[in-house]
Chain A
Amino acid sequence: MPRKKIELENIVENISILDQDGNVDKALEPKISNDDLRRLFRAMTLARRYDERMLKLQRQGRIGTYGPALGQEAASLGPVYAINKDDWFVPSFREPAATLWRGWPIDKLILWWGGNEFGATPPDGAHDVPICVPVASQVQYAAGIAWGCKLKKNGGVAVAFVGDGGTSEGDFHEGMNCAAIFGAPLILIIQNNQWAISLPRKKQTASQTLAQKAISYGLNGLQVDGNDILAMIYATREAVDRARKGGGPTIIEAVTYRMGVHTTADDPKKYRTEDEVDCWKPKCPLARFWLYVKAKGVVTEKDREKMEEEIQNDITAAIERAEQYAPNPLEPFEHCFAEMPLHLKRQLKEFKAYLAATNGETSSADGNPENLAGYSKHLH
C-alpha cells in the first residue's frame, strides 16, 4: 500500500491587526465603541502604572517578591474585554491588566503580593478565580469550569491564561485534551512571552508554534500578535462565539515578550541580552494602542494627561488602604474547614496562649524581633 497523507482539519493561522506604526488592517479591525476604547486605553495604562509602582514598593520592602507583567498588557486585557461579567476568568499569575478590568480593586492585588490571603478573595459574586502559582495547574479547573457551564447550559464560557513554560506541564496537556473531548467552552490564552524564567521558548518545546498544540487535541488553535490589543480582541471574540455555539475550546497563542524580570528575585542578565529586550521595545502594546486611540480622536493628549494623573492618585490611595490592612491572625484557623474540628480547636487555644504569652512579640528565626502587636487586638 502506498503511503497516504492525512489531511488534518485544523490549521494554524496568525493574526495581527494593528502594527507598531499604527497601521490598521481595516478588514479585520474589531468594532469597539469609542467609550470602550477609552476605557480600554485607561485600563491598559493603569496596568502599566500599577506594575511600575509595585516594582517600587518591592524595592522599598513594602511588599514581597513581585512578578511584573510589563509588556503583556494587551495579551491579558484583550481576552477579558471579549467576555461578559458572567463568564469566567481564570488567571495564571501575570494578568493584573485582566484582573483589574474584571473589577478587582487595586488594593487586593497589592495585598496578594504583600502576603495576605485577602488579596486572593474574589470580589463578591465575581466569576473570577485568584492568581494560580503552581504553573499550568489552573488549566485543569479552567476546563472544569467551562465544562460545568456547558452542563448547566448557562451559555457561559471561560477564558483562562497560561505561560509558554506552562505548556510543558502534564496539567496543560491533560486539561486541554479533556476540554476538547467534552467540548468545553474554554478559551485558553497562552501568554508566550518567550521566557520561562531562564528557559527560552525554543528550549521549552520542539514545536514550531505553541498554537499548533491545539491540533493534537482536535481543537482550534491560532497565533496572535499578543502586543496588539485589537488582534487579541478579534481572536477572542471569534473563539467565544464559536464556544457559545458548541464549537468547543480554542487555544490562542499570544506572541508577546516579558519586558521585565521574571520576578524581583530574578536577574535576567544571567541568561538574556539587552539587545533582545531592546528589539521588543518598539512593539510596546501601550504605545501602539495610543497611536490608535489618538488617530481616532478618542483620547487626546490632554485626556491622557488627566488620565495618568487620576491613575497615579488611584494607585496611591490603594497603597494607603492596603498598608492600613491588619490581618486577623486567627483567620487561618477559621477558614481551614467549614466547621472547626476538635483538634484544631485545641490547637487554636494553644496558639492564643502563645500570642498572649508573647504579648504579640515573636522573634524570627534569625533573631530579629518582629512586632506583631497589632495582632493582640484580635485575641478576644
Chain B
Amino acid sequence: MAQLTMAKALNLALREALQEDPTTLIMGQDVGQDEGVFRITENLLKDFGADRVVDFPVAESSIVGLAIGLCFTGIKPICEMQFSGFGYHGFHQIENHISRFRNRTRGRLTCPMVVRMPYGAGIRAIEHHSESREAIWAHLPGLKVVIPSGPRNARALLKASIADPDPVIFYEPKACYRAFKEEVPDAPESMEIGKAQVVREGSDVTIISYGASMRPVLEAADELKDEYQLDAELIDLLSLVPLDTETIMASVRKTGRCVVVHEAPRNCGPAAEIIARIVEESLEFLEAPIERVTGYDLVMPFFNLERPYLPDATKVVLAARKVVNY
C-alpha cells in the first residue's frame, strides 16, 4: 500500500498497462521527454522507450485519427489530449469513426482505445482550460465515458478502460490531480466500468455526483450532518456511460429525495439524464422535486470570476435542505 495522489495513481496505471500488455502505446503532446504537462507520464519514456511513449506534434485530430489505424493493426493506443478543451480538435474522428467502427463493420474493425483528457476548473488556468464538457461525449453513442474522483478509483478505472474492448473517454478531474492522497494497493486493481459507488450511506437525501464535484459533495454531507442532523447518502457515479441506474434507483427509492451535482452546464447535462431516468423508473417513490446543482448555462468565466460559478458545499447544502424541507 502506498499513499498516492491521483497524478501518481494514473501514472501507476499507465506503467502497469505498458508492462502487462506489449501492444499498448501512449501518444500525446509532451507525454515523452516532458513527461506530460501534468507529469502523468513521469518516467515512462525513460523506462519504455520512444516506440511506446510517443511525443506528438500539435495535432489532436491526428492523435485520435492515427490511433484508429493503430487499433486495426493490433496496437492499443492510450491517447492524451493535453486539456479537454482541445479534444474538440479530435471531435470528428471520435464521432465519425471511433464511436462507429464497431457497428459499421459489424464488429470486424473496432477501436479499443482510451482517450484521456484533464477537465474542469479550479486551477486558475487561462481560457479554454477549465470547462467540463462530459455531456458532449456522453451524447455520442458508442463511447464509454469514465470519470474518476480519487487516486484509488482513478488507477483501477484507467486499468479497466485500457482493457475495455470499446473506446473510452477517460475524463480526469485535474483539480484532483494533486489535491489529496489515498491508499492505493500495490497489487494491480481493476474496477467494473458502469458501476457506481455508494461512498456514504444515509437515509434523508441522496446526493449524486462524480469527478471533481465529489469533493464539495463530501464537504456538504459533513455540514448537513453537523449543522442540520441530516444523513445524506452519497453516490459517486464513476461512469456516465454506462450509467448505473440500479444503484441510483435503490438509493432514491430509499430516501425519496435527491440532488444531482456537477460542474458541467445544466442544459442537456448529465443531471438532466439522471433525473429523467429517476422520473421514468422511480417517480412514485419521490417525496420532493429533485434539485440540480450545476454549472450555469454560460461560457465558463475566466479564472478571476470562476469560483462562485462552480458548485460548492454551500450550494449543495442549500439544495439538499430545500429538498428535505419540501
| Interface set, chain A 175-218, CB cutoff 8 A to B | 196-199, 203-205
B313 contacts the other chain (Cβ, under 8 Å)? yes
- Interface stretch (choices B202-210, B270-278, B304-312): B304-312
Does B34 contact A270, Cβ atoms closer than 8 Å?
yes
CB-based nearest A residue for B86: A134
Given A115-B124, A367-B219, verify A197-B29 contact (CB < 8 Å). yes
Q: Once bound together, how far apart are the Cα atoms of A216 and B312, in whole Å?
A: 52
Question: B297 contacts which chain A residues (CB < 8 A)?
Answer: 336, 343-344, 347
Does A365 contact B308, Cβ atoms closer than 8 Å?
no
B102 contacts the other chain (Cβ, under 8 Å)? no
CB-contact partner of B126 in A65, A165, A331, A347, under 8 A: A65
| Interface set, chain A 323-367, CB cutoff 8 A to B | 327, 329, 331-333, 335-336, 343-344, 347, 351, 354-355, 357-358, 362-367
Does A114 contact B314, Cβ atoms closer than 8 Å?
no
Query: How many A-B pairs fall under 8 Å by CB?
Result: 148
B122 contacts the other chain (Cβ, under 8 Å)? yes
Given A65-B125, A169-B59, verify A365-B310 contact (CB < 8 Å). yes
Does A136 contact B128, Cβ atoms closer than 8 Å?
no
Does B308 contact A354, Cβ atoms closer than 8 Å?
yes
Does A134 contact B33, Cβ atoms closer than 8 Å?
no
Question: B306 contacts which chain A residues (CB < 8 A)?
Answer: 115
Does A372 contact B307, Cβ atoms closer than 8 Å?
yes
B67 contacts the other chain (Cβ, under 8 Å)? no
Q: Once bound together, how far apart are the Cα atoms of A171 and B304, in whole Å?
A: 30
Q: Once bound together, how far apart are the Cα atoms of A364 and B124, in whole Å?
A: 12
Does A270 contact B301, Cβ atoms closer than 8 Å?
no
Question: B86 contacts which chain A residues (CB < 8 A)?
Answer: 134-135
Q: Once bound together, how far apart are the Cα atoms of A166 and B59, in whole Å?
A: 8
A123 contacts the other chain (Cβ, under 8 Å)? no
Does B305 contact A327, Cβ atoms closer than 8 Å?
yes
CB-contact partner of A329 in B216, B219, B305, under 8 A: B305
Does A332 contact B57, Cβ atoms closer than 8 Å?
no
B72 contacts the other chain (Cβ, under 8 Å)? no
Q: Once bound together, how far apart are the Cα atoms of A270 and B314, in whole Å?
A: 42
A20 contacts the other chain (Cβ, under 8 Å)? no
A117 contacts the other chain (Cβ, under 8 Å)? yes
Of the listed residues B86, B266, B305, the one surrounded by the most CB atoms of chain A closer than 10 A to its CB is: B305
Does B61 contact A265, Cβ atoms closer than 8 Å?
no
Nearest-Cβ distance from residue A341 to partner chain B, whole angstroms: 9
Nearest-Cβ distance from residue B123 to partner chain A, whole angstroms: 9
CB-based nearest B residue for A360: B308
Does A199 contact B29, Cβ atoms closer than 8 Å?
yes
B30 contacts the other chain (Cβ, under 8 Å)? yes
Chain B residue total in the interface (Cβ 8 A):
52
CB-based nearest B residue for A130: B127
Q: Once bound together, how far apart are the Cα atoms of A204 and B57, in whole Å?
A: 5
Does A365 contact B212, Cβ atoms closer than 8 Å?
yes
Does A362 contact B307, Cβ atoms closer than 8 Å?
yes
Nearest-Cβ distance from residue B44 to partner chain A, whole angstroms: 13
Question: A344 contacts which chain B residues (CB < 8 A)?
Answer: 296-298
Nearest-Cβ distance from residue A83 to partner chain B, whole angstroms: 26
CB-contact partner of A199 in B57, B212, B309, under 8 A: B57
Nearest-Cβ distance from residue A61 to partner chain B, whole angstroms: 9
Q: Once bound together, how far apart are the Cα atoms of A364 and B175, in whole Å?
A: 11
Given A115-B302, A169-B58, A327-B305, verify A364-B296 contact (CB < 8 Å). no
A316 contacts the other chain (Cβ, under 8 Å)? no
Residue interface bits A21-56, CB-to-B below 8 A is 1, else 0: 000000000000000000000000000000000000
Question: B310 contacts which chain A residues (CB < 8 A)?
Answer: 365
Given A333-B296, A343-B297, A344-B297, verify A270-B308 contact (CB < 8 Å). no
Does B314 contact A357, Cβ atoms closer than 8 Å?
yes
Question: A355 contacts which chain B residues (CB < 8 A)?
Answer: 308
B133 contacts the other chain (Cβ, under 8 Å)? no
Question: A199 contacts which chain B residues (CB < 8 A)?
Answer: 29-30, 55-58
Q: Once bound together, how far apart are the Cα atoms of A347 and B292, in whole Å?
A: 11
A282 contacts the other chain (Cβ, under 8 Å)? no
Nearest-Cβ distance from residue B24 to partner chain A, whole angstroms: 22
Question: A271 contacts which chain B residues (CB < 8 A)?
Answer: 33-34
Residues of B in contact with A (beta carbons under 8 Å apart): 29-30, 32-35, 37, 55-62, 85-86, 89, 122, 124-129, 175, 179, 212, 215-216, 219, 266-267, 296-299, 301-310, 312-315, 318
Instruction: Give me 16 A-to-B residue pairs in the complex whose CB atoms sit less than 8 angstroms apart, sorted by A's number.
Output: A64-B124, A115-B303, A115-B305, A119-B302, A133-B127, A169-B89, A171-B89, A196-B57, A199-B29, A265-B37, A331-B305, A336-B299, A344-B297, A347-B266, A362-B312, A372-B308
Residues of A in contact with B (beta carbons under 8 Å apart): 64-65, 112-117, 119-120, 131, 133-136, 165-166, 168-171, 196-199, 203-205, 265-266, 270-271, 327, 329, 331-333, 335-336, 343-344, 347, 351, 354-355, 357-358, 362-367, 370, 372, 375
Smallest CB-CB A-B distances: 10 pairs: A198-B34, A115-B303, A115-B304, A168-B57, A165-B58, A168-B59, A115-B302, A271-B33, A64-B124, A198-B30
